[in-house]
Structure 1
Amino acid sequence: MKRIPLSVWLTLEVFAVTWSTNSLAQESALNMTQGVTQISSEVYHLHMLIFYICCAIALVVFGAMFYSIYKHRKSKGAVAAHFHESTKVEIIWTVIPIIILIAMAIPATKTLVAMEDTSQSDLTVKITGSQWKWHYSYFEQDVEFFSLLATTQNQIDGIEAKGAHYLLEVDNPLVLPINRKIRFLLTSDDVIHSWWVPDFAVKKDTIPGFINEAWTKIDQPGVYRGQCAELCGRAHGFMPIVVHAMTEADYDTWLADKKAQLALAKQQAAAALSNELSLEELMQIGEKIYTERCSVCHQANGEGIPGAFPAIKGSAIATGAIDQHIDIIVNGQAGTAMQAFANQLTEQEIAAVITYQRNAFENNTGDVVQASDINAFTMQAQGNKEEL
């Protein structure tokens, strides 16, 4: 029985791989997602076009190579030919790659140009990355909020079973309407982060002191998840992105409710200035805030990470002057990973976490800080700035 040449087997294998990739593209975890936007679909089809071109090139090149190895092998008495420069061959192998590159460049350029066109947007959202959370601000809507990891520390530590969306769930998702062009302005408060949602084909770096632009127009309602895609420090893996895409009517309802919710929160924060909580109440609130916001750097036991993040336990800040402690929580510390929490926490929450730090981890100062103390400090600081 005559043996089938290796080149034929190779040809059949390449065709089989190409066909199976095309039919199973969406199901395969190894392939790109088609996403839920026109741009993500264009990126996907561009990717597949380039892949098929590469398969065709591989088929021709390796087919010719293996055919030559089989057909002109020494055991069949083949004798190597001796020839030198051929102008015709050199022209052919120069022109063909140029044609291939042009065939690849034209659709790629069209897609890249479309990806960068942020004009005529219906909604603008500013996205600010920081260690390790996202801040979303809706232009002309007076709506802004932080989005933090919602996975519990017990799940991370393996004490509880991991949830269905382990490390991909947040307390405040970004909510967007479908069928509207949304422009993103992306920047950072500290180091370089990267806002990446595969279903939108959006992946942009957020760079301190610089603003990048991107856009999307979502076709289908749903929940879409992403992550920070730039190594940004110890808790880089704890910066998930969750986007809730709603119908336009549902989005408008959510926006009205969110505005009412934020207005109520401001009223409650103002009312809290006249409330004095007990040490036990402040410790309870402060422990929750500390676990959510502080423990990632300073550790749950308050001992920090030597050489990277200072300890709270026995520290000069947590056991020293209260004003200095308030200042570092409210204003942060330049040149370090210590952020300013004035715009992230209410005055009552700041008071609670300071009280907790001064009385937990065997610090036991007995100090009680109230929301009115934080307000008085910030008012005095503002007055000093105005005088200068």
Structure 2
Amino acid sequence: MHLRAKRLYKLALSPVLLLLSFLSTGAWAEEAQRWQMNMSPGVTEVGAEIYGLHMIVFWICVVIGIVTFGAMFYSVFAHRKSKGVKPATFHESTAIEIAWTVVPFIILIVMAFPATTTLLKVYDFEDSDLDILVTGYQWKWKYEYIDEAGDNVVFFSNLRTGKTEIYNEDDKGEHYLLEVDEPLVLPVNKKVRFLVTANDVIHAWWVPALAVKKDAIPGFINEAWSRPLETGVYRGQCAELCGRDHGYMPIVVNVVEEDEYNAWLADKKSKAAEIKALMDKQFTLDEQMAAGKPVYDQYCAACHGLNGEGGVGKAIAGSPIATGEMAKHLDVSINGVPGSAMQAFGAQLNDVDMAAVVTYQRNAFGNNMGDIVQPIDVYNFKQGQ
């Protein structure tokens, strides 16, 4: 087939396929699916309104397209030169001018009323039952449940998909690149206000089922809210191109009954209290090595190698940082290295885990420095910065 004909064929076929996809929306689940072309109504009242508004505008556009192109194709066919039709000689028509000015104006008014009503609801951040600060990092999310008493729950949510799946060494899991180690947990039928920001570059917190998509910008706090009406697990992703691992920072939200949420929150606060109590404990070298290894495997091995051999990052084995001054080692681990792939882990790891992993790095992989870092040492270093 001639190249130009092929292009015309594709242009003619794509709207047909798109229309067929919209006609099949009734069979879709409420949560967005892979390769889905249309929006999803989600599990919130506002999400359903946005979806309904979207479909109304879509069908109005379909009718306008049919009428416009139908009139055009009819005119071309019925008044073609081969039939001996002579072109009209009029230059303007007042009635037509008024019609194609008034009719679009009425259509816009019809669409503007429900759109304005829905937008007012989207930007109504008042009277929330729960406030959560969402902070984007390269490449993970930090969640902080804001408590009026100051007893906040804070944790990071990291990609759980293994490197073996990413590099095609194992079969892809059901939720490939859409699974995390710590999901965000919300109570059902409660209004949740999200305060969205970023620590490094621009990210975007996007969960289609919750009708939330908000940019996370360093130095700014954007607001969004959602009231999920159904329990379940809802997945999203960073929707802003934020760096080489942009596709590796998924979002998982677990909406549960209020009793289950309260139990989860109490457990989180209990664990935070346990970590706080450990701040005064003096650990042995063996205890810190045992505690530091899983922290290293989770947060450090991807860049520095499972055996400290290096890779994306520099080697830990024999490193001048891991075998040098303790203060320099703590500074790099806590504050990172600007302009490099070495992130600042001071906010990502609590003082207990930070002390353990620094101890592990200074004594594993043949470094054998004999140093023991205690949680209070990390705390004092942070205070002295």
Q: Structure 2: which amino acid aligns with 1:240?
A: P
Moved more, 58-67 or 132-141: 132-141
Listed one character per residue, the Cα deviations across residues 314-341 of structure 1 (whole Å, up to 9, x for unaligned) are 6542343232011111233455554332
Aligned to 1:341: 345
Listed one character per residue, the Cα deviations across residues 30-74 of structure 1 (whole Å, up to 9, x for unaligned) are 211110000110111111011101100111001101111221122
Distance across 1 between alignment mates of 2:250 and 2:332: 27
Moved more, 171-180 or 345-354: 345-354
Aligned to 2:221: 211
Aligned to 2:8: none
Structure 1's 344 and 18: CA in aligned 2 closer, same or farther, altered over 3 A? closer
Query: Do the aligned partners of 1:202 and 1:215 also contact (CA within 8 Å) in 2?
Result: yes
Aligned to 1:366: 368
Aligned to 2:279: 270
Aligned to 2:48: 41
1:289 maps to which of 285, 292, 295: 295
Report the aligned-residue RMSD. Answer: 2.8
State the identity as a percent: 51
Structure 1's 111 and 313: CA in aligned 2 closer, same or farther, altered over 3 A? farther
CA deviation after TM superposition for structure 1 residue 347, in Å = 3.7
Where in structure 2 are the equivalents of 1:97-116 lying within 5 Å? 97-116=104-123
Distance across 1 between alignment mates of 2:371 and 2:382: 17
Structure 1's 275 and 282: CA in aligned 2 closer, same or farther, altered over 3 A? closer
Query: Do the aligned partners of 2:318 and 2:366 also contact (CA within 8 Å) in 1?
Result: no
Query: Do the aligned partners of 2:205 and 2:239 also contact (CA within 8 Å) in 1?
Result: yes
Query: Do the aligned partners of 2:295 and 2:353 also contact (CA within 8 Å) in 1?
Result: yes
Distance across 1 between alignment mates of 2:231 and 2:92: 62
Where in structure 2 are the equivalents of 1:96-175 lying within 5 Å? 96-140=103-147, 141-175=151-185
Distance across 2 between alignment mates of 1:299 and 1:62: 61
Distance across 2 between alignment mates of 1:17 and 1:135: 37
3-state SS of paired residue (2:108): helix
Query: Do the aligned partners of 1:176 and 1:243 also contact (CA within 8 Å) in 2?
Result: yes
Q: Structure 1: which amino acid aligns with 2:367?
A: T
Query: Do the aligned partners of 2:178 and 2:252 also contact (CA within 8 Å) in 1?
Result: yes
3-state SS of paired residue (1:224): strand
Query: Do the aligned partners of 2:289 and 2:356 also contact (CA within 8 Å) in 1?
Result: yes
3-state SS of paired residue (1:226): strand
Gaps of 5+ in 2: 1-14
Aligned to 1:350: 354
Q: TM-score, normalised by structure 2?
A: 0.84
Distance across 1 between alignment mates of 2:263 and 2:236: 25
Distance across 2 between alignment mates of 1:343 and 1:15: 51
Structure 1's 190 and 15: CA in aligned 2 closer, same or farther, altered over 3 A? closer
CA deviation after TM superposition for structure 1 residue 17, in Å = 8.1
- Asked whether 1:70 is paired with 2:77, we answer yes
Aligned length: 361
CA deviation after TM superposition for structure 1 residue 258, in Å = 2.2
1:182 maps to which of 192, 198, 214: 192
- Asked whether 1:55 is paired with 2:62, we answer yes
Distance across 1 between alignment mates of 2:156 and 2:283: 25
Query: Do the aligned partners of 1:354 and 1:369 also contact (CA within 8 Å) in 2?
Result: no
Aligned to 1:328: 332
Listed one character per residue, the Cα deviations across residues 86-106 of structure 1 (whole Å, up to 9, x for unaligned) are 222222212222222222222
- Asked whether 1:93 is paired with 2:103, we answer no
CA deviation after TM superposition for structure 1 residue 233, in Å = 1.2
2:270 maps to which of 257, 260, 272: 260
Query: Do the aligned partners of 1:304 and 1:312 also contact (CA within 8 Å) in 2?
Result: no
